[in-house]
Amino acid sequence: MGPTSPGLGEGGLGASELRGMRISRSAEDYLEAIYILSSEKGYARVLEIARHLGVKPPSVTQMLRKLRSMGLVHYERYGKVVLTELGRKVARRIASRHADLKAFLLALGLAEPVAEEEACAMEHVLHEETIAILRSLGKFLSGAPKGLKCLKCLRTGKYLCLSEEEQEA
């Protein structure tokens, strides 16, 4: 796998919008942070982004320059950080991937902090099609009575947990 995310051109972003654009994992983390932080007031500040990501403000400033050159954020020194329309689309897609993966991991029974950490790592490397399948599987496991029974069997290590009647249904 390379340092860029697969599948961002699918599920909401057209190829023409991303043509030639390579978004690193780090840049994706920044976009997602800006998206989250700006959800209430419409913008984020460098110090907020730094705190959210656990980095120093100069690192944020450096990345904001890159994101601005890619047309993903509006940013002036000491000013507000605002996602462009394209930046919002990319960030929304990243946040959606993250939420879907976290929900799947929680459905598997992982503790919230572990699910959060793993979702953050996985969102950058899994193909959109893989995430769609995991999303569907997570919904099935958490929403269907038989799915919950299978999940309980998974946790206990039993392989044949459904009766013949349940398997035929």
Domain of residue 50, CATH code? 1.10.10.10
How many structural domains compose the chain? 1
pTM, two decimal places:
0.75
71 within a domain of the structure (yes/no)? yes
1 within a domain of the structure (yes/no)? yes
Cβ–Cβ under 8 Å, residues 18 and 8 = yes
116: exposed, middle or buried (C-beta count within 10 Å: 0-12, 13-18, 19+)? middle
108 within a domain of the structure (yes/no)? yes
* Residue 168 pLDDT class (50, 70, 90 cuts): low
151 within a domain of the structure (yes/no)? no
Give the dihedral sign, CA 122/115/128/159.
positive
pLDDT digits (tens, 9 = 90+) for 94-153: 999 999 999 888 888 889 999 999 999 999 899 989 999 998 888 887 776 666 666 667
What pLDDT score does 20 carry? 60
In the structure encoding, which two tokens stand for residue 42, read together?
């419409």
58 within a domain of the structure (yes/no)? yes
Q: Which domain holds residue 44?
A: 1-144
Sequence-distant (6+) residues with CB within 8 A of 133 are none
149 within a domain of the structure (yes/no)? no
64 within a domain of the structure (yes/no)? yes
